Structure 1
Amino acid sequence: MKLLRRLLILLVLCLAALAASAWWWLDRALPLATPTVELSIEAGSTPRDVAQAWVQAGVQAQPWLLFQWFRWSGQARRIRAGSYELEPGITPRGLLAKMVQGDEAFERVRLIEGWTFRQFRAALARAPHLKPASTALDDAQLMQLLGLPGVSPEGRFFPDTYIYSRNVSDVTVMRRALSVMQQRVAAVWAERAPNLPLKTADEALVLASIVEKETGRSEDRGRIAAVFINRLRAGMPLQTDPTVIYGLGEAFDGNLRKRDLLADGPYNTYTRAGLPPTPIAMPGLAALRATVQPDPSRALYFVARGDGSSVFSEDLAAHNRAVNTYQRASAPKKP
């Protein structure tokens, strides 16, 4: 009887020591093979798979020990799929909490106002931890995938900073940017000024892209929009260089020549009246708002001063004087 009692006491002491050891381990930092350890957990992974994957990724612990902790915590079924990053100091308790809470590792990509779709795709291709699912698709195939077959992708994506989980598809970011632009355009179109010479929200998007490219200083944006609105009302051609440059595409070498302005094409707003067939860049929210709510102005012309600002004129004579002052006078003299 005494032997049995001693064995029971020894067993209790061993269990208590084991429990104390386990409790101590749960709050001890896990050794990591590298300064940070990253892991993407796929949907449907079992707790045993997750434990093994962490060890393979660089967590220096016994996989069975991690698995038992996940299992006996009662939260194994709550582990969420996603991309996670561990830093020095993470404990087994903290590791499980991170996965249960879905505390994923995120990246970000910034899309700039005035970028073309080519620049947009290039930025996504450079973005860290973004799966290049669209690389093999041309523009038409991509727009079909996004649910807009036959629509040009130019200007259809809203420029902003997008945060995404690691290892998601670039198409995921594209869908978000497309959806945001659609929402922004619909919102500003609903608040448009009366009697605009624009028939649809899509026409507003096209003109906003021109306003975006023509604006050097934000304070001039509303007046620049007014110039183009006034020209459309008067039936005048828009005569804006950025559309011609866009039409030249990769043939543009940085120098817009007179022959370029005279060469007819769908984006040459010197030879063709009205709007070009598509946007020429991604307009930001300020350009969208300025386009549908332009400043009160009778100006029909503007010319750049050279410092980012513009001089506005209501008639051609005043415009020519401004051109002589701010452009021709500053042009380099021919030898």
Structure 2
Amino acid sequence: MPRSGVPLTTCSLTSGKGIARPWKLVYYRAKKMFDVNNYKGRYSRGDVEKLKVYQALHGNDWKKIGELVSRSSLSVALKFSQISSERNHGAWSKTETQKLIKAVEEVILKKMSPQELQEMDSKLQENPEGRLSIVREKLYRGISWVEVEAKVETRNWMQCKSKWTEILTKRMTHGRDVYRGVNALQAKINLIERLYEINVEDANAIDWEDLAGTIGDVPPSYVQTKFYKLKATCVPFWQKKTFPEIIDYLYEISLPLLKEKLEKKMEKRGTEIQTPAAPKPVFLFRDIFYCDDDDDDVSGGEDGGEKS
């Protein structure tokens, strides 16, 4: 119970009023935003050494370690996963990719409520050949990447999350080139115009789920990654600019150039732009969690590179 004496559920429900999100998500997001230990900046060499020492003393008691180094428990857990052991780099092997897909599936199923699992079991009992479905948000939201990392073993949590976004995007879009050639140009144009239209002061206020439709049926993290690369390549000294200044630059300077470039490419015969697919609310398990001969990473870049 909070210090105010008001039950947690009451506080959470009141805080989430008017926000189109489950109250638990609103609560955890607010808790993360207002935890001062989430804004300590980069870890220095001294911080990293302290983290190693405290982990050796206290094991994986991240709450205790977080208190000792004045960081959030999530922050120290994720940082330690990056430095704790050697990890592979570069292209993912077929075995690694298959382990990742299996690990994500297991973590998602583990997080489901007993009622959800019981419903799935009942459907399988009634029809063993039936087609089980999963709500799209469960495919990327609330996944414990530390758990996934432990199951994959050869990659850290950031690599796992990045690779899963690549795999999930490919399977959600059925392998369509949603961000290549003229489609990429149109997607950038759509994204800039939409960000300018919503007119927010802070990137944290953006509903990336809603913006995903500017590119197609893709996960929100995919759109976030593309926006980051867009501002990093188009906006000079973007680190020193406020979010509105970045959007204004993209809209006033980059947008006309992108439209001109697209217009020239469209003059070529046979050039067509795909209409972004509307996000599907539900997917079949079998369309997402499967392993095939295409699981080898042939992109040649670190963690998937620019593959769409």
Common fold: TM-score over 0.5: no
Question: Which TM-score band (shorter chain)?
Answer: under 0.3
**TM-score normalised per structure 1:** 0.24
TM-score (norm 2): 0.26
When Rg is computed on C-alpha atoms for both structures, the one with the higher figure is 1
Which structure's residues are more often strand, by fraction?
1
Higher relative contact order (CA 8 A, sep 6+): 2
Name the one with the larger helix percent. Answer: 2
